Structure 1
């Protein structure tokens, strides 16, 4: 980046959108804020529901990396995205990609491209006979998830508690339980601007199967197999729009195979604190490249 372009880029500022429960995000995002400020950018964290969109400078870039409650305020969040679209503001990742990623049925789009997702049954609010459709799959003790959900909220094993359709007002996704999560856990692969960066291993707590930090998961850096990276890379290449950051979550079956569990494009933990020497600088460099500044 030449000196003139570098100078102009400092006209931009960054707003890391957070949520009411975590208005300051987490330690990784505080470090991101400091790193952006050290490069001469203005940056602040603010609850997304309190962001004055009508008054923001058009060179303010919104990073929705801590909106960890959008699924609880779904209609409001859709309005939030719509207002951004109607303005000259930019959100990264772009709103079109966020909208694609909001409902877990995006996995079916990946399946159509011959990518190895966990087998998935989508139940929309208007879909009739939920229990009968689940029974037809003959999956033993399957997992049911809200079609729009975050942080493992509402994720349960179907046979351990009765299904109440009212608990899933936006629909649900049902999947067979993958036993390998007990022994191999989950691997999260992080990409910036389509380039693989690093990976994290999440191992569920004893007697737990949900590999989410809310359930006392053990987390550490990992060197993934080339085959896992290749699967995740194909996911990134098959997204409907170009992404600045992507986290692909896989359930390893062995060193050669893995199943796609989630593709996180909205507010994923990017685990900056597990790669402190490289992750923040790489993220910022790729963010500026993505923005063209």
Structure 2
């Protein structure tokens, strides 16, 4: 058996970087006799037919070429190559509109408004903020529906709404966008990321933004520490997982717990989530996932 960890052309090899440590997963697979290579999804010279399976791992430019990315996954399916997670699940998870679907199923998210691409006339940014009951001390986060690593994500204070109008109009001309109330606890308490393997809880990390920022990704100076989430966080994330497709190889559920105890869903990462193998206190998560990949390959 031979599988590929799908990467991208700017970083084609299996990632050994901070927090990602996909080398731990690759080593666990090789111990089972499964060969593993890194292969960029956007490299047209790769012969994907030589792989029995493809695990999406560090495809960190898919948001810039979404049509090509989905086309590539569907081509793998036609070749008979197993893809994890499944292409139809990935296509659903590519757009953050899924948050609104989960909200309709009873999952709490920050107050959110979708503004579709090329909406005419483009609404006043300040008017949208007022609908969130935002006062002069509050802010709104605006982000593309298709993005990763806080790409084109902006934190806009109410007082700067009119100044941001031109940028807002530009974004709406190019893409669907989401506006969300800013949850200030992300600066003070951080964001929990709970990792699930085969839909079973594995471990968790607390992601913290650097001083003066709100973005928790390490690309923006964020830091990570292993931790044990509260019972409320764990129950909330278990509930989110129960509302997702059954056949998930891996998932990460990112949430914020407000000071009043309320838990809000920020993201469900089903495409290429950092799984924080090196933050797993048991040290078994890479082996557990390797076992599950092997089981699915041999089915």
Name the residue aligned to 1:21. 10
1:179 to 179, 184, 207: 184
Relative contact order, higher structure (CA 8 A, sep 6+): 2
Contact 2:52 2:297 (8 Å CA) reproduced: no
Name the residue aligned to 1:50. 43
- Are 1:224 and 2:229 an aligned pair? yes
Contact 1:96 1:241 (8 Å CA) reproduced: no
Q: Taking structure 1 as reference, are residues 248 and 181 closer, same or farther at Cα in structure 2, changes over 3 Å only?
A: same
Name the residue aligned to 1:148. 146
1:257 Cα deviation from its structure 2 partner: 2.9
Cα distance in 1 for partners of 2:86, 2:151 equals 25
Name the residue aligned to 1:81. 73
1:279 Cα deviation from its structure 2 partner: 1.5
Name the residue aligned to 1:248. 253
Contact 1:18 1:24 (8 Å CA) reproduced: yes
1:35 Cα deviation from its structure 2 partner: 2.1
- Are 1:124 and 2:116 an aligned pair? yes
Contact 2:90 2:270 (8 Å CA) reproduced: yes
For each residue in 1:52-84, what CA deviation from the matched residue of structure 2 results, as whole angstroms up to 9, or x when unmatched? Answer: 576514x61111110011011122112212212
Name the residue aligned to 1:238. 243
Q: Taking structure 1 as reference, are residues 38 and 292 closer, same or farther at Cα in structure 2, changes over 3 Å only?
A: closer
For each residue in 1:96-141, what CA deviation from the matched residue of structure 2 results, as whole angstroms up to 9, or x when unmatched? Answer: 1101100001001111111111221111104332435624334332
Name the residue aligned to 2:270. 265
Q: Taking structure 1 as reference, are residues 51 and 289 closer, same or farther at Cα in structure 2, changes over 3 Å only?
A: farther
Cα distance in 2 for partners of 1:255, 1:205 equals 23
Post-superposition, which runs of at least 4 consecutive aligned residues in structure 1 deviate over 4 A?
A: 51-55
Q: Taking structure 1 as reference, are residues 125 and 179 closer, same or farther at Cα in structure 2, changes over 3 Å only?
A: same
Unaligned runs of at least 5 residues, structure 2: none
Contact 1:188 1:200 (8 Å CA) reproduced: yes
Aligned residues: 281
Contact 1:192 1:246 (8 Å CA) reproduced: yes
Name the residue aligned to 1:5. none
Name the residue aligned to 1:98. 90
So what's the TM-score if we normalise by structure 2? Answer: 0.87
Which shows bigger deviation, 75-84 or 110-119? 75-84
Report the 3-state secondary structure (helix = DSSP H, G, I; strand = E; otherwise coil) of the residue aligned with 2:124: helix
1:282 Cα deviation from its structure 2 partner: 1.3
So what's the TM-score if we normalise by structure 1? Answer: 0.89
Report the 3-state secondary structure (helix = DSSP H, G, I; strand = E; otherwise coil) of the residue aligned with 2:92: helix
Name the residue aligned to 2:211. 206
- Are 1:110 and 2:102 an aligned pair? yes
Cα distance in 2 for partners of 1:292, 1:149 equals 34
Unaligned runs of at least 5 residues, structure 1: 1-11
Name the residue aligned to 1:157. 155
Report the 3-state secondary structure (helix = DSSP H, G, I; strand = E; otherwise coil) of the residue aligned with 1:199: strand
1:145 Cα deviation from its structure 2 partner: 0.6
